[in-house]
Amino acid sequence: MKKIFIASDHAGYNLKSKIIAKYLKFKKINDLGPFSKNSVDYPDFAKRLSKKVATNKGSFGILICGSGMGMSIAANKTKNIRAALCYSRKNTKLSRLHNNANIITLGQRLIDKNKAFSLIKIFLSTKFEGGRHLRRLKKI
């Protein structure tokens, strides 16, 4: 089983807790924090998780903040990371099929827990198509 890392900031803490408790309780998941609702800086957690995904070949990451945007921007600063802000079934599927995204970012203020569960399931089960998409990824 591939490793799955998860982290958030304080604005994503509640959704992170629900994902761990409900959706991923039977999968191996590594919680990288935070471990309370106290205010934290999202770039610190995005960087921590991104480094783990980058050094654990084939692993995936889940990052959650208020909108998902800040985590996505911060995570994409790490080499070999392709973090995708996901908000719909279609854009989540395409993030894996065409972009081989290895981190999904979610916005707790924009989607509910059931939508988050659905998007994570799609993200983790969709395989990269390769082919012309691999050629394009190599240009990044």
Would you please indicate which residues are annotated as catalytic (active-site) residues? 98
**Under a CB-based contact definition with an 8 Å cutoff, are residues 81 and 122 in contact?**
no
**What Cα–Cα distance (Å) separates residue 126 from each residue in 93, 94, 101?**
6, 9, 10
Q: How far apart are CA 109 and CA 4, in angstroms?
A: 23
Amino acid letter for position 94 = L
Intra-chain end-to-end CA distance of the chain, in Å: 28
Q: How far apart are CA 112 and CA 102, in angstroms?
A: 22
